[in-house]
Structure 1
Amino acid sequence: MTQWAEEVDPVHGDFRVQLRVEKVLFERQTEHQHILLIENRTYGRVLLFDGIAQVAENDEFIYHEMLAHVPVLAHGSVRSVLVIGGGDGGAIEELFKHADIERVDLVEIDGTVVELSKQHLRSVCGASFEDPRLRLTIGDGVEFVADSKNLYDLILVDSNDPTGETNILYSEPFYRHCARRLAPGGVLVTQNALPFFDRDWLRKPITRLRKIFADVGCYQVAVPSFYGGFMAFSWASEDASLRQADGDLLEARFRKADLHTRYYTPAIHRAAFALPPYVSGMLA
Structure 2
Amino acid sequence: MMTHVPLLAHGHAKHVLIIGGGDGAMLREVTRHKNVESITMVEIDAGVVSFCRQYLPNHNAGSYDDPRFKLVIDDGVNFVNQTSQTFDVIISDCTDPIGPGESLFTSAFYEGCKRCLNPGGIFVAQNGVCFLQQEEAIDSHRKLSHYFSDVGFYQAAIPTYYGGIMTFAWATDNDALRHLSTEIIRRVFSLLA
TM range (shorter): over 0.9
| 2:116 counterpart residue number | 181
CA contact (8 A) 1:219 1:233 kept: yes
Question: Normalising by structure 2, what TM-score?
Answer: 0.97
1:190 lines up with 2:114 in the alignment: no
Is contact 1:194–1:201 with CA below 8 Å preserved after alignment?
no
- Equivalent of 2:55 in 109, 117, 120: 120
- Alignment match, 1:204: 139
Q: In 2, Cα distance between the equivalents of 1:74 and 1:191?
A: 17
Task: Map 1:93-132; keep pairs closer than 5 Å.
Answer: 93-132=28-67
Q: Name the amino acid aligned to 2:135.
A: D
**Aligned counterpart, 1:69:** 4
Encode CA deviations 1:104-130: one digit per residue, 9 max, x unaligned.
110001111111111121221011100
| Amino acid corresponding to residue 121 of structure 1 in structure 2 | L
Gaps of 5+ in 1: 1-65, 261-284
Q: Quote the offset at 1:245 in angstroms.
A: 2.3
Cα displacement string for residues 156-209 of structure 1 (whole angstroms, at most 9, x for unaligned residues): 000011111211101111101100100010000010011111211111001111
| TM-score (structure 1 length as normaliser) | 0.66
Q: Alignment length, in residue pairs? A: 193
Among candidates 27, 51, 68, match of residue 92 of structure 1:
27
1:138 matches 2:73: yes
Q: Percent identity?
A: 40
Point out which structure has higher relative CO (alpha carbons under 8 A, 6+ apart).
2
Partner of 1:19: none
Greater fraction of residues in strand: 1
Q: Secondary structure at the match of 2:2?
A: helix
Distance across 1 between alignment mates of 2:169 and 2:26: 16
Q: Which residue of 1 aligns with 2:166?
A: 231
Higher helix share: 2
Structure possessing the higher radius of gyration over alpha carbons: 1
Superposed CA RMSD? 1.0
